[in-house]
Amino acid sequence: MECRSACAERSIPTSRRMSSSRRRALEAAGIALSPELVRPTEHWDRATGAATTRRLIDDGVAFDAVFALNDTLGLGALRALGEAGIRVPDDVALIGFDNIDEARYSVPSMSSIDTGRDRIAEMAVDLLLERIHEKGERRPPRTLTPDFRVVGRESTGFAGGG
């Protein structure tokens, strides 16, 4: 099975971790990743998402989905796809990452990975308060991971757009 999903990535630690996770998920599903679909970007904004998607289209690379490493890139990609007459999700599915409010209001509404920002803030405050109230020897460092979730909206074929 082959994945024809385009993706923009950036060479910073967060992007490298996300790209590594994406590669592992594709491998686990038995899906080959086509290197011509991975597009490096310098900036993570709407203009870059649109420009990167236009280059992908202009290069004649066949793809059926776009995974943007943040919703802002995804909104730019959505614009470029529409300008090119490519219907989302009929021709190309699109999903972003970080579930910003604007994703709910794009047309079509954009699916996203919700990173659990509210839970991250709660954990940070809890850890800070714990540290402030610590007496004696400090607790050793630990890693806490919030739950991520897929928020399906119209850009991947889910009805409703909420």
Among the listed residues 40, 34, 41, the one whose alpha carbon sits nearest the alpha carbon of residue 63? 34
Give the tokens for residue 5. Answer: 């999903």
Q: What is the pLDDT of residue 135?
A: 83
pLDDT tops 80 at residue 112: yes
The half-sphere exposure of 60 on its side-chain side, counting CA atoms within 13 A, is 0
Give Cα separations from 145 to 25, 107, 117, 152 (angstroms): 18, 32, 11, 22
> Is the Cβ–Cβ distance between 151 and 104 less than 8 Å?
no
Using one digit for the tens of pLDDT, what is the confidence trace for 54-78? 999 999 999 999 999 999 999 999 9
Confidence bin at 3 (pLDDT 50/70/90): very low
| Residue 40, helix vs strand vs coil | strand
Out of 4-8, 100-104, 136-140, least confident range: 4-8
Nearest-angstrom CA–CA distance, 115 and 146: 7
Of 80, 78, 17, 67, the residue nearest 39 (C-alpha): 67
pLDDT value at 1 more than 50: no
12 pLDDT above the threshold of 50? no
| Range 2-115+148-156 has CATH code 3.30.56.10 | no
Mean pLDDT of the chain: 87
Burial 66-102 (b: 16+ CB within 10 A, else e): bbbbbbbbbbbbbbbbeeeebebbeebbbbbbbbbeb
The model carries a pTM of 0.79
